[in-house]
A and B are shown apart, each in its own frame.
Chain A
Amino acid sequence: MIEEYIPVFIVLLIAVGFAGAVVFSSKLFGPQRPNSEKTSTYESGMKPVGTVRERISIKYYLVAMFFIIFDLEVIFIYPWAVEFKRLFGEHGISVFISMFIFLVVLELGYLYAYKKGGFKWD
């Protein structure tokens, strides 16, 4: 029983070992010229210390909304596309129509965001 998992443990060891070795070797061999930007928690992100009520541009939320639309699309379309041949054989054209309706509903939201100026960034 437990023997079957030995390859998994080997992969785990290699993964952890490689990642650790890379991090450690860059610390060992790489040039060290730290400055305040580089040593901050998120080097190219937001400041980790400061007011918690910072205002965030609405554009971030718009991007997140568009992402959700496409993300949902992909989540449902992939399994559908993989099984399409079998489902089409069993249920016929209705398989295609139901996905089409789903896409129309989803794209309507996308079109709404576009029409309301979601892509105007200035």
Chain B
Amino acid sequence: MFENTQQFLDMLPIIIIGAGILISTTIEMYSEKSEAVLPWFSVFIFSAAAFYSLVYADKQSIILQNMLSTGGITNIFYFIFNIGAAIVCLLSLDYTKKYGMNYGEYYILIQASVLGMMFMAGAKDLFMIFLGLEIMSVSFYVLAGVNRKKEKAIEGALKYFLLGAFATGFLVYGIALIYGSAQSTSIEVITAGFTSLTGNILFVAGVLLFLIGFSFKIAAFPFHMWVPDVYQGSPTTVSGLFSTAGKAAAFSAIIATLAALFNSSPDNIFSPYLSVLALFSMLFGSIVAIAQSNIKRMLAYSSISHAGYMLIGLAAGSFDGTAGVIFYLTVYTFMNLAAFGIVALIEGENETNLELDSYSGLGNRNPVLAALLSICMFSLAGIPPMAGFFGKYYVFIAAIKSDLIWLAIVGIFSSVISVYFYLRVVVLMYFKDSEFEKVPAKSFSGFLGVTISILLIIALGIFPGSLLDLITSYL
């Protein structure tokens, strides 16, 4: 099975999560208290996998008959997925009780989705990407509707499933065309012949279909229609997982597959497509978010515009751009999870306290939570001391270096628009009197999850170079 012990150690993060799923299922079967055990067990295995992959990131290798790569960028992505999922589990512990859906299966599904993401990030073959995507997506469809007594959740889950399946169709057709023109599904073979293959119209069509399939998953503009409904209908913590780890997984698959595209070639033929996608996602997300009164819908549209900023990095088509995207994804994971986490803490039973008005006067009622949410909103808006600023900075600078100055200008313009709706929350919290009673936010684990994310945002805001150097050294 394993040619040697080294291979086993190389893919240990995947084995930890895979074994974790089996152990969790066994616990769920035999233990009466699985709902209390599984969250902490999940946090444990996610943290173990996250730290293992970060510590051993420098051992790069390709294993399992050229199917899976380990080490380097792959492990950075493993870190993002696992730490994100660990935070989601911390946030879910009390949130699921609020809705009477603290099933043990909830955590097993999160683990399964992370396993799928890890396959996507490490893929060296298009089939591996497809396999990982399906493991992730199927778990996500179930997670979206896990609160099965709520009509909105069922609606969201069904919408997600139908559109997700539709997107998978595009993706598979794209893979088929790529295979037809490159005569291989191995990413290494495709990468090696990339320049000559781009002359083949079938290959170009295949890559475009592949990108369309993933545009659904990253919620880029023309393929975003499911996002607000799904994020609003799903449990808040699950929406956090969709918008962070799920998006990071889709980006990891694009970066893994089209590595040749991001090889600082000035005549990158997919750059116009990615630029247009980025342009519309940014502007559409930012402008429509202004009109939202529900904070989950607002965060959904903000997630569309963030997908646009990240696409700028891909459109730049250079190492700088790719490094910027990965940095942005890391930062975005933490700041968006913190935002969704605080929303989950403030959310009352039966979907109360989700309107923006219910945040008015939070500065008086719960100063700590208000301060944390302010940091989060400043970071999402891209105000300098926070990490969100550096994410945007690296992406824009990469665009300017690749002569996409107009795209960087539109990006800056769009982030100025987005400042309005992010800071509106802060204004409501501090400068408007409370019309509601004190919100009880007595969830230790949820608070812990939010605090970890906020600390990471601040740390990455102060030392952005440490992470960026790490990413650049592996690219």
Contact = CB atoms under 8 A, between A and B. Distances in A.
B243 to A, nearest CB: 29
Contacts of B29: 111-112, 115-116
A112 B22 CA distance: 10
Contacts of B26: 108
B7 interface: no
B192 interface: no
Majority DSSP secondary structure for residues of A touching B: helix
Interface in B15-46: 22, 25-26, 28-30
Nearest to B2: A94
B291 interface: no
B22 A98 contact: no
Nearest to A104: B22
Nearest to A91: B1
B1 A112 contact: no
Majority DSSP secondary structure for residues of B touching A: helix
Nearest to A97: B1
A91 to B, nearest CB: 8
A58 interface: no
Contacts of A97: 1
A105 B22 contact: yes
Interface residues of A, number: 11
A115 B30 CA distance: 8
Most chain B C-beta atoms within 10 Å of own C-beta, residue among A97, A109, A112: A112
A104 B28 CA distance: 16
A54 to B, nearest CB: 17
Interface in A74-122: 94, 97-98, 104-105, 108-109, 111-112, 115-116
Contacts of A112: 25, 28-29
A94 B28 contact: no
A94 B22 contact: no
A108 B1 contact: no
Contacts of B30: 115
Nearest to A93: B1
Contact of B25 (A94, A98, A108): A108
Contacts of B1: 94, 97-98
Nearest to B18: A105
A94 B2 CA distance: 9
Interface in A37-76: none
A105 B18 CA distance: 10
A92 to B, nearest CB: 10
A117 to B, nearest CB: 11
A97 B8 CA distance: 15
B22 A108 contact: yes
A33 B412 CA distance: 80
B59 to A, nearest CB: 23
A112 to B, nearest CB: 6
Contacts of A98: 1
Contacts of B22: 104-105, 108
A111 B22 CA distance: 11
B416 to A, nearest CB: 48
Contacts of A111: 29
Nearest to A94: B1
Contacts of A115: 29-30
B17 to A, nearest CB: 13
B8 to A, nearest CB: 12
A117 B401 CA distance: 61
A115 B28 CA distance: 10
Nearest to A113: B29
A112 B29 CA distance: 6
A116 B26 CA distance: 12
A111 to B, nearest CB: 7
Contacts of B25: 108-109, 112
A24 B196 CA distance: 60
B161 to A, nearest CB: 15
A66 B25 CA distance: 17
A68 to B, nearest CB: 13
Interface of A: 94, 97-98, 104-105, 108-109, 111-112, 115-116
When A and B form their complex, which 4 residue pairs have the shortest distance between CB atoms, in order from nearest? A115-B29, A94-B1, A98-B1, A112-B25
10 contacts: A94-B1, A97-B1, A104-B22, A105-B22, A108-B22, A109-B25, A111-B29, A112-B25, A112-B29, A115-B29
Given A108-B22, A112-B28, 14 more contacts: A94-B1, A97-B1, A98-B1, A104-B22, A105-B22, A108-B25, A108-B26, A109-B25, A111-B29, A112-B25, A112-B29, A115-B29, A115-B30, A116-B29
